[in-house]
Structures are given as structure tokens and as C-alpha cells.
Amino acid sequence: MVPGKPISTHGMTQKLNRHGIPVRTAHNAALAALAADLPSPILADVTGTRRHIALRWVAYARRDWAEYLAARAGEQGQGVRK
């Protein structure tokens, strides 16, 4: 890093990863949080992603988790732990 000179996205990602800060995980968590609160066209505009990608994130964030929870409850009832 040189004072007054911007660092590239790739360079910053590598530095953060070396210090134990997983950038991809943080990026996905932030995107999922936004997708839970915004409609897909606005999410696409705010994040600069394509609309079909934003639509997938919104669908993921607003997913009905009832099926997953029922499966987990069944596993716990059978004594299966993960």
C-alpha cells in the first residue's frame, strides 16, 4: 500500500483474508441481509448486480424455512446430531 494510491479490490481481499477476515462470507451475509429487506429491482440497482441475480437473492432470503425446520426436528427426535 502506498499513501495516496488506492488499493485494488483483489489486493484488499488478499490482505483481509490473511488476517482471518473472510471477505466472501461477509459479502454474502451482507447481500442476504439486504435481500431480506429490499425488492429485487432496488437490490439490483443498489448493489450493481443483474436483476435476475438480485431476484435469486431475494427468493433465498425470503425462503420459507418450515420444511428445513421439520426435517431438523425429525433428526433430533431420532437422536441424529450433526
Who's near 11: CB < 8 A, 6+ residues apart?
1
Written as one string, the DSSP assignment of 29-80 is HHHHHHHHHS-HHHHHHHHT--HHHHHHHHHHHT---HHHHHHHHHHHHTT-
The model's pTM? 0.58
What is the sign, positive or negative, of the torsion defined by CA atoms of 50, 54, 57, 59? negative
Q: What integer is the mean pLDDT of 59-63?
A: 86
Residue 1 corresponds to which cell in the numbers above?
500500500
Q: What is the pLDDT of residues 30-60, one digit of tens each?
A: 999 999 999 999 999 999 999 999 999 999 9
Mean pLDDT, range 8-31, rounded to an integer: 90
Handedness of CA 8, 44, 40, 56 (dihedral sign): negative
Residues 6+ apart with CB under 8 A from 19: none
Q: Is the pLDDT of residue 64 over 80?
A: no
